[in-house]
Amino acid sequence: MIRRLHLATGLVLFTYLLTHLLNHALGLISLDALAVGREVFLAFWRNPVGTVVLYGALLLHGGLALAAIYRRRRLAMPLWEAAQLILGLAIPPLLALHILGTRLASEFFGVDDSYIYILLIYFVFSPLLALKQLLVTLVAWLHGCIGMHYWLRLKPWYPRAVPYLYGAALTLPLLALLGFYVAGREVARLAADPAWMAAAQTSIHPPDAATVSLIYNLDTAIIVGLAGLLAAVLFARWLRLQLTRRRGLLRITYPDGRQVAVLPGTTILEASRGAGIPHASVCGGRGRCSTCRVRIGAGAAHLPPPSEAEAAVLLRISAAPTVRLACQTRPTSDVEVTPLLPATATPLHTLARVAHRQGEEREVAILFADLRGFTTLAEHKLPYDVVFILNRYFATMGAAVEDAGGRIDKFIGDGVMALFGVDGSIDAGCRGALAAARSMAARLDELNQTLAHDLPEPLRIGIGIHSGPVIVGELGYKAATSLTAVGDAVNTASRLEAMSKELGAQLVLSEPVAARSGADLSSFPRQEIELRGRTGRLTVVAVAHVLDVRIATEGSV
Ligand code: FES
């Protein structure tokens, strides 16, 4: 609830700022355009509902930030998080005078806080205030953009949108400030005309000296009050830590044997950060990304149960019962933890791929494909030509697999291994594997035509497909880590591919795959075979030419 409120109030404030900046940008057109934009802006924000939403969001967002500071057992945090916090804390004192001089002056002292009024203050009477306003605009925009970035970066579409959003994040404030500046210059020019100035004063009803003095006094009081509030929160936090310390420290033990002594109630992530132990936390400890997850060893029984929000994230990643989110788990006694992701984890390591990353047993369809006679061909080619042909072949096969909903597991020599049904049903996986086999054969024909002058004879392919339970997980080391499958079904699929040569078939698929693919394969010969290392016989379908297979949903799963 707190996290959602924080996000919701942040979004309200960001929207307010966004619309305010858009309004400013109209100054590039004319003062009239600026005024018309303001009418729309005020209609949205300066009505009873808009007022409650806006000022409620402002108070709640600030209050939640102070509460978060109070709750923290340690203040160590990544640079971006610290920057966002400091920028956020700077906004209220910088903004107070602007709010008092506009909304308060308008509501209680009859001032028309139009753009003319504001621009006269900033460009004629108190240019220094304009600098302050410029600063708070940039601070608020930066604070909002950081928040938006760390929220949106978990969305799968975000990497593609980043260049556009980045451009917008730079362009919008620039246009707004330019619009404001151009309009300010225009007002300063008009103000030189005493008649215009007199008319402006009459329509604005500027605050008198006593009101101005009151506004400045209120501003000072707010700044002092905010500083006092922050000091009180820090003091309360310190006091709380002292009281907690009396209950003694607990130990968090890491896989390398390192032990960190912390106060009860400290999150595991805070403990890691405080001790300088690198620990992934893509969402900054907001319980959204799951990259901070740890496996709990000894001490698991004494942990408080996960909150509803943590439990929901753990459920989404199909986490084992011993896995917890380090940023949400506050041990109350000694505990052993093992971070499950490298500290360098990125948004790509978040929810969507977690189940596979941790390893899970799934039934999938496995496809192996191999080039026939390529070794002989390679012997008569220059290395450069071999690499060129193989890369064209891999690109073609990779596209065929992905277009059919599969995942390339690996390229081995001139062979391809692909998985289908990793994220869906096994039936869909079998349909996809057969569709991919057909597409591979078709695309290989096209590639042979394209490379006709480079090849002494057309490339030929042998394909084997089998399905069954396997362990799917991300295995490997550093850059060589990839999603892969291990298990008997993988070996069987590989042997079916090898058998395609013996059987003179372009494709050999096992009966389970044939049945689940939904394709009519009744016209192709079936036979029972024995496979080395496998007990029992396996019925397989041998297809001489894959393109003869008719499938209902070609190219889809
Ligand atoms: S840091 Fe993102 S869920 Fe814990």
Closest CA to 102 of 110, 91, 90: 110
Residue 481 has pLDDT above 70, yes or no: no
User: With a 6 A CB cut-off, is 283 part of the ligand 1 pocket?
Assistant: yes
Ligand 1 atom closest to 326 (CA): 4
pLDDT of residue 229: 95
Question: From ligand 1's centre to the CA of 462, what distance in Å?
Answer: 45
Closest CA to 472 of 369, 341, 345, 357: 357
Q: Which residue has a Cα nearest atom 3 of ligand 1?
A: 287
Residue 406 has pLDDT above 70, yes or no: yes
Rounded Cα distance between 375 and 382, Å, is 13
pLDDT of residue 483: 74
Alpha helices, H only, 100-157? 105-109, 115-120, 127-152
Q: How many CB atoms lie within 10 A of CB 107?
A: 12
Q: Which of 270, 289, 340 to mutate to test the pocket of ligand 1 (most atoms within 8 A of CB)?
A: 289
User: With a 6 A CB cut-off, is 288 part of the ligand 1 pocket?
Assistant: yes
Highest averaged pLDDT of the listed ranges 75-79, 80-84, 254-258, 445-449: 445-449
Rounded Cα distance between 304 and 329, Å, is 8
Asked if 187 and 119 touch (Cβ cutoff 8 Å), the reply is: yes
DSSP states along 316-334:
HTT--TTEE-TTT---SS-
Question: From ligand 1's centre to the CA of 229, what distance in Å?
Answer: 29
Residue 136 has pLDDT above 70, yes or no: yes
Q: What is the pLDDT of residues 2-15, one digit of tens each?
A: 778 888 999 999 99
pLDDT of residue 555: 39
Residue 346 has pLDDT above 60, yes or no: yes
Phi and psi (nearest 5°) for 2? -65, -45
Residue 118 has pLDDT above 50, yes or no: yes
Ligand 1 atom closest to 327 (CA): 4
Mean pLDDT of 131-135: 91
Of 355-364, 424-433, 505-514, the poorest mean pLDDT is in 355-364
Question: From ligand 1's centre to the CA of 460, what distance in Å?
Answer: 49
Single pTM value for the model:
0.60
User: With a 6 A CB cut-off, is 285 part of the ligand 1 pocket?
Assistant: yes
pLDDT of residue 240: 85
User: With a 6 A CB cut-off, is 327 part of the ligand 1 pocket?
Assistant: yes
User: With a 6 A CB cut-off, is 287 part of the ligand 1 pocket?
Assistant: yes
Ligand 1 atom closest to 286 (CA): 2
Rounded Cα distance between 435 and 549, Å, is 9
Residue 230 has pLDDT above 50, yes or no: yes
Asked if 267 and 329 touch (Cβ cutoff 8 Å), the reply is: yes
Q: Which of 150, 279, 291 to mutate to test the pocket of ligand 1 (most atoms within 8 A of CB)?
A: 291
Rounded Cα distance between 66 and 304, Å, is 25
Closest CA to 330 of 242, 250, 248, 264: 264
pLDDT of residue 479: 60
Question: From ligand 1's centre to the CA of 259, what distance in Å?
Answer: 21
Ligand 1 atom closest to 313 (CA): 3
Q: What is the pLDDT of residues 185-225, one digit of tens each?
A: 999 999 999 999 999 888 889 898 999 999 999 999 999 99
Rounded Cα distance between 272 and 293, Å, is 12
Highest averaged pLDDT of the listed ranges 215-229, 458-472, 542-556: 215-229
Residue 480 has pLDDT above 70, yes or no: no
Residue 556 has pLDDT above 50, yes or no: no
Q: How far is CA 462 from CA 334, 368, 493, in A?
A: 57, 8, 12
The amino acid at 177: L
User: With a 6 A CB cut-off, is 282 part of the ligand 1 pocket?
Assistant: yes
Q: Which of 7, 150, 270, 283 to mutate to test the pocket of ligand 1 (most atoms within 8 A of CB)?
A: 283
Per-residue pLDDT band for 507 (boundaries 50, 70, 90) equals very high
Q: What is the pLDDT of residues 140-163, one digit of tens each?
A: 999 999 999 988 887 778 888 889
Per-residue pLDDT band for 554 (boundaries 50, 70, 90) equals very low
Mean pLDDT of 164-186: 94
User: With a 6 A CB cut-off, is 293 part of the ligand 1 pocket?
Assistant: no
Closest CA to 510 of 501, 502, 500: 500
Report the DSSP pairing between strands 460-475 and 360-372: antiparallel
Q: Please, what is the average pLDDT of the chain? A: 88
Closest CA to 230 of 68, 375, 106, 79: 68
Of 446-450, 454-458, 533-537, the poorest mean pLDDT is in 533-537
User: With a 6 A CB cut-off, is 268 part of the ligand 1 pocket?
Assistant: no
Q: Which domains does the chain have, with CATH numbers?
A: 2-241 (no CATH), 250-349 (3.10.20.30), 359-548 (3.30.70.1230)
User: With a 6 A CB cut-off, is 290 part of the ligand 1 pocket?
Assistant: yes
Rounded Cα distance between 496 and 463, Å, is 8
**323: which 2 tokens?**
């896995």
The amino acid at 101: G
As a whole-number percent, the residues of the chain with pLDDT over 70 amount to 95
Of 50-59, 279-288, 511-520, the poorest mean pLDDT is in 279-288
Q: Which of 292, 314, 329, 350 to mutate to test the pocket of ligand 1 (most atoms within 8 A of CB)?
A: 292
pLDDT of residue 349: 62
Any residues with CB less than 8 A from the CB of 23 and at least 6 apart, and which?
Answer: 34, 37, 38, 40, 41, 176
Phi and psi (nearest 5°) for 483? -70, 130
Asked if 294 and 321 touch (Cβ cutoff 8 Å), the reply is: no
**Tokens 């912390």 found at:** 262
User: With a 6 A CB cut-off, is 347 part of the ligand 1 pocket?
Assistant: no
User: With a 6 A CB cut-off, is 516 part of the ligand 1 pocket?
Assistant: no
CA angle 409, 410, 416 (to 5 degrees): 100
Question: From ligand 1's centre to the CA of 252, what distance in Å?
Answer: 18
Residue 351 has pLDDT above 60, yes or no: no
Closest CA to 390 of 377, 403, 401: 377
Q: Which of 272, 279, 290, 349 to mutate to test the pocket of ligand 1 (most atoms within 8 A of CB)?
A: 290
Give the DSSP H or E segment for 464. strand 460-475
CA angle 86, 91, 93 (to 5 degrees): 110
As a whole-number percent, the residues of the chain with pLDDT over 90 amount to 50
Output the CA torsion 348→351→352→354 (10° steps). 90
**19: which 2 tokens?**
């619309």
Phi and psi (nearest 5°) for 548? -80, -15
Asked if 514 and 497 touch (Cβ cutoff 8 Å), the reply is: no
Question: From ligand 1's centre to the CA of 313, what distance in Å?
Answer: 10
Residue 357 has pLDDT above 60, yes or no: no
